[in-house]
């Protein structure tokens, strides 16, 4: 059998659609995961004791079960609990929940990295807990945890093929479908690898740019701007 | 306790106690600070003097007794049967609003400029406009002699300068009480003077101050009252001359003797050279 790229070019429209679904569920899952993770981390640090215990269990359950099984449970088991979701929203939510526990642990490390004295000073000046988080802790810790966050974002990108198992029409499902019909597996697998490579590479680039920006804020260079002005 | 007596004292601690687990770090502390009074807390490390100060800002929760700031109970509220109930964070902030705190490690926020450090709470807590906050911030920096450092970052300043910024940051909120927790202990000896100078100026302006310090010279010159703590208890208190020159407690005498030997070594040095 000959290596024939026409298998791909003939199906460019379908492949592009699949790529967009991958991009959408991935970025949506990342956004949801970051938001949930931050919430979980904040509540774990400052919430009431009973809530912290619940969140600890939540983290442990998600962390110690395979993503595939979680997706199955959400998509096929959900209706039994009255949660009926279409494939794409189910995939996005599943990815977000899965990512949230890892993001939460990264955020928790970040919060703990700020010297408590800085928080006491803020407290004595009358800043509320939310103001302390937003103004003192987040700007400083984001610089520190940025590499870990970017890393987790790329891991989530490479988890999106799992969504094909619950019929999300994303890149892997589309391309493996083409492969089964045409038996042109080499071409299809090459396209798959290149697709994910492009996404992860783009993420790394963005991450590096953000890190450079962040280091300018906190580095030793005298030419510095306040983070505060950017956030405000 | 009559209302008029309570009003005399701007800080009043009655029977205050603090434990860490089984370890009693403060026991039965009575402390009364009047407006414009400067109180220095001295004592060996582990004596509880920093914990006492931190209890006055409710950075540590005290377990027994009561602390009142300007007549308001700090950290707790009185329940219906007169029992102590933990106050909300909001209530704690409200009672503490007139307290400024200065720490041994400065605790500036490294990601903000000096001016932003000083104006942050003005903008977020006092809700001043940026212009008003910046103006007051600059005035405070001028007061501590650092007007030219407004745009610098904390890491670009010496320890002494950082501590003066921390003082300006606290002063910007117009506190009635300033608490200092070993403000010069983290500084190179050469830089201690500039911080003490700012504190002397504050005292001269009538600020009410409670200072935990190892600077006996500062305590002797500036304090109205010196309180000596040992093992979580007030062992001696009085005017600087009563505490330093007429120490009665053997523990205090020993503490002062130790201090003297460490700090006036040249006395012994001079003798040995004359003998030689």
Q: Write down the pLDDT at residue A225.
A: 40
Contacts of A227 in chain B (CB under 8 A): 111-112
CB A59 within 8 A of CB A125: no
Query: Sign of torsion, CA B162 B164 B168 B169?
Result: positive
Average the pLDDT over each of A110-119, A188-197, B157-166 and give the range with the smallest value. Answer: A188-197
Q: What does the pLDDT average to over A53-75?
A: 93
The chain-wide mean pLDDT, for chain B, equals 91
The half-sphere exposure of B152 on its side-chain side, counting CA atoms within 13 A, is 14
How far is the alpha carbon of A32 from chain B, nearest alpha carbon, in Å? 28
Q: Write down the pLDDT at residue A171.
A: 87
Asked if B93 lies within 8 A of A140 by C-beta distance, the reply is no
Q: What does the pLDDT average to over A151-180?
A: 90
Dump pLDDT digits (tens) for A106-134: 999 999 999 999 999 999 999 998 999 99
CB neighbours of residue B8 within 10 Å: 10
Say whether pLDDT at A27 is over 90. Answer: yes
* DSSP one-letter code for A55: H
Say whether pLDDT at A212 is over 90. Answer: no
Dump pLDDT digits (tens) for B232-276: 999 999 999 999 999 889 999 999 999 888 877 666 665 555 554
Asked if B59 lies within 8 A of A120 by C-beta distance, the reply is yes
Asked if B111 lies within 8 A of A226 by C-beta distance, the reply is yes
pLDDT band at B3 (very low <50, low <70, confident <90, very high): very low
Q: What does the pLDDT average to over B97-122?
A: 96
For the segment(s) A6-231, the CATH number from 1.10.3720.10, 3.40.640.10, 3.90.180.10, 3.40.50.2000 is 1.10.3720.10
CA dist., res. B161 & res. B141, Å (int): 10
Say whether pLDDT at B224 is over 70. Answer: yes
Q: Write down the pLDDT at residue A92.
A: 94
Contact residues, A window 131-160, toward B, CB-based 8 Å cutoff: 131, 135-136, 139-140
How much of chain A, in percent, has pLDDT values that exceed 70? Answer: 92
Contacts of A140 in chain B (CB under 8 A): 109-111
Q: Write down the pLDDT at residue A187.
A: 83
Q: Write down the pLDDT at residue A232.
A: 34
Q: Write down the pLDDT at residue B195.
A: 95
* Nearest CB partner across the interface for A118, out of B93, B107, B121: B107
* DSSP one-letter code for A134: I
- Give every CB contact of residue B251 below 8 A, 6+ residues apart in sequence: B230, B235
**Does residue A125 sit in helix, strand or coil?**
coil
Contacts of B103 in chain A (CB under 8 A): 117, 120-121
CA dist., res. B160 & res. B183, Å (int): 9
What is the ipTM for the molecules in this complex?
Answer: 0.90
Q: What does the pLDDT average to over B164-191?
A: 95
How much of chain A, in percent, has pLDDT values that exceed 90? Answer: 55
Instruction: Confirm or reject contact between A220 and chain B (CB < 8 A).
Output: yes
Q: Write down the pLDDT at residue A81.
A: 84
Dump pLDDT digits (tens) for B96-106: 999 999 999 99
Dump pLDDT digits (tens) for B65-90: 999 999 999 999 888 887 888 998 88
More confident residue, B34 or A188: B34
Say whether pLDDT at B27 is over 70. Answer: yes
More confident residue, B34 or A219: B34
Helices (H) and strands (E) in chain A, counts: 11, 0
Q: Write down the pLDDT at residue A227.
A: 40
- Give every CB contact of residue A209 below 8 A, 6+ residues apart in sequence: none
Distance of CA A27 to the CA centre of its chain: 7
**β-pairing verdict for B76-78 and B84-86:** antiparallel
Q: Write down the pLDDT at residue B51.
A: 95
């Amino acid at each position: 059998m000959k290596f024939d790229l026409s298998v791909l070019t003939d199906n460019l429209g379908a492949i592009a659609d699949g790529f967009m679904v991958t991009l959408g569920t991935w970025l949506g899952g990342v956004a949801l995961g970051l938001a949930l993770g931050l919430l979980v981390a904040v509540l774990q640090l400052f919430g009431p004791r009973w809530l912290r215990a619940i969140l600890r269990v939540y983290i442990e359950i998600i962390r110690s079960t395979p993503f595939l099984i979680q997706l199955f449970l959400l998509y096929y088991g959900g209706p039994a609990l009255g949660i009926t979701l279409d494939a794409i929203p189910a995939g996005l939510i599943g990815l977000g929940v899965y990512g949230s526990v890892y993001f939460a642990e990264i955020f928790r490390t970040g919060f703990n990295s700020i010297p408590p004295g800085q928080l006491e000073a803020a407290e004595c000046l009358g800043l509320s807990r939310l103001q302390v988080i937003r103004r003192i802790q987040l700007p400083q810790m984001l610089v520190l945890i940025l590499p870990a966050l970017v890393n987790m974002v790329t891991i989530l990108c490479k988890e999106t093929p799992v969504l094909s198992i619950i019929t999300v029409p994303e890149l892997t499902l589309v391309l493996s479908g083409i492969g089964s019909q045409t038996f042109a597996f080499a071409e299809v697998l090459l396209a798959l690898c290149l697709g994910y490579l492009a996404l992860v590479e783009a993420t790394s680039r963005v991450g590096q740019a953000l890190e450079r920006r962040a280091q300018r804020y906190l580095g030793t260079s005298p030419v510095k701007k306040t983070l505060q002005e950017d956030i405000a | 306790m009559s209302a008029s007596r309570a009003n005399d004292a701007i800080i009043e601690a009655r029977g205050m106690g603090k434990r860490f687990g089984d370890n009693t770090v403060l026991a039965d502390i009575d402390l009364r600070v009047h407006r414009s009074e400067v109180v220095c807390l001295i004592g060996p490390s582990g004596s509880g003097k920093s914990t006492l100060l931190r209890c006055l800002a409710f950075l540590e929760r005290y377990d027994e007794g009561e602390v009142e700031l300007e007549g308001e109970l700090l950290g707790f509220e009185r329940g219906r049967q007169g029992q102590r109930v933990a106050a909300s964070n909001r209530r704690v902030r409200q009672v503490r609003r007139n307290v400024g705190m200065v720490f041994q490690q400065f605790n500036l926020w490294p990601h903000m400029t000096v001016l932003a450090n000083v104006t942050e709470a003005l903008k977020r807590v006092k809700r001043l406009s940026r212009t008003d906050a910046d103006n007051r911030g600059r005035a405070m920096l001028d007061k501590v002699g650092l007007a030219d450092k407004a745009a610098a970052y904390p890491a670009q300043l010496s320890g002494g300068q950082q501590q003066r910024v921390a003082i300006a940051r606290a002063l910007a909120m117009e506190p009635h009480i300033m608490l200092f927790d070993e403000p010069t202990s983290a500084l190179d000896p050469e830089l201690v003077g500039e911080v003490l100078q700012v504190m002397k100026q504050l005292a001269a302006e009538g600020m009410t101050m409670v200072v935990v310090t190892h600077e006996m010279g500062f305590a002797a010159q500036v304090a109205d009252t010196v309180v000596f703590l040992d093992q979580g208890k007030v062992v001696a208190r009085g005017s600087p001359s009563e505490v330093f020159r007429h120490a009665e407690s053997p523990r205090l005498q020993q503490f002062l003797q130790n201090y003297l030997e460490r700090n006036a070594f040249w006395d012994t040095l001079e003798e040995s050279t004359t003998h030689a």
